[in-house]
Amino acid sequence: MPSTSVAGLPAVKRTKDQAMHIGARLEDRIHSTRMNAARKRGGVQTVLSFTGYGSTTWVRVLGRVVLAKPGKLSARTGTAQALRDGVRGWRNFISPPVNDAVVCVEIGDEKHLVTADRGGVIDAVLPASLAPGWQSITLRPEAEPDAAPVASPVYIVDPAATTGVISDIDDTIMVTALPRPFLAAWNTFVLDEHARTPTPGMAVLMDRLMRENEGGPVFYLSTGAWNVAATLTRFITRNLYPAGPLLLTDWGPTRDRWFRSGPEHKRTQLERLAKEFPDISWLLIGDNGQHDEEIYAEFSRTHPQNVRAVAIRELSPSEAVLAGGRSSGPGAPPRDIPWIYAPDGAGMSRQLMEKGILPEAG
Q: Is residue 32 very low, low, confident or very high in pLDDT (cuts 50, 70, 90)?
A: low
Highest mean pLDDT among 103-107, 117-121, 255-259: 103-107
Q: CATH 3.40.50.1000 region(s) of the chain?
A: 163-354
Q: Is residue 98 very low, low, confident or very high in pLDDT (cuts 50, 70, 90)?
A: confident
Q: Are strands 218-225 and 197-198 parallel, antiparallel or unpaired?
A: unpaired
Asked whether residue 67 carries a pLDDT value surpassing 50, the answer given is yes
Spatial contact of 319 and 177, defined as CB atoms under 8 Å apart: yes
More confident residue, 263 or 89: 263
Neighbours of 171 (CB within 10 A): 25
What is the residue-wise DSSP string for 281-327?
EEEEEEESSSSHHHHHHHHHHH-GGGEEEEEEEPPPHHHHHHTTS--
Q: Is residue 342 very low, low, confident or very high in pLDDT (cuts 50, 70, 90)?
A: very high
Cα 74 from Cα 158, distance rounded (Å): 33
Mean pLDDT of 9-29: 51
Length of the chain: 362
Output the pLDDT for position 7: 39
**Interhelix angle 202-212/345-354, nearest 10 degrees:** 40
Dump pLDDT digits (tens) for 136-175. Answer: 999 999 988 888 899 999 999 999 999 999 999 988 998 8
Bridge partners, residue 110, by sequence:
107
Bridge partners, residue 45, by sequence:
67
* Helix or strand run (H / E) with residue 352: helix 345-354
Dump pLDDT digits (tens) for 198-231. Answer: 999 999 999 999 999 988 999 999 988 887 788 8
Q: Which residues are within 8 A (CB) of 182 and not within 5 positions of it... i.e. 6 or more apart?
A: none
Output the pLDDT for position 9: 46
Q: From edge to edge, which strands make up the β-sheet containing 246-249?
A: 246-249, 218-225, 163-167, 281-287, 307-313, 339-342
Dump pLDDT digits (tens) for 266-283. Answer: 999 999 999 999 999 999
Cα 317 from Cα 326, distance rounded (Å): 9
Spatial contact of 52 and 61, defined as CB atoms under 8 Å apart: yes
Output the pLDDT for position 6: 40
Output the pLDDT for position 180: 54
Quick one: CA dihedral 340, 345, 351, 352, positive or negative?
Answer: positive
Cα 293 from Cα 14, distance rounded (Å): 33
Cα 258 from Cα 323, distance rounded (Å): 23
H helices within 239-289, ranges in order? 262-276
Say how many CA atoms lie within 13 Å of 20 toward its Cβ: 15
Residues 163-354, CATH architecture:
3-Layer(aba) Sandwich (3.40)
Asked whether residue 71 carries a pLDDT value surpassing 60, the answer given is no
Cα 236 from Cα 243, distance rounded (Å): 7
Using alpha carbons, select from 230, 327, 340, 346 the residue that is nearest to residue 288: 327
More confident residue, 112 or 93: 112
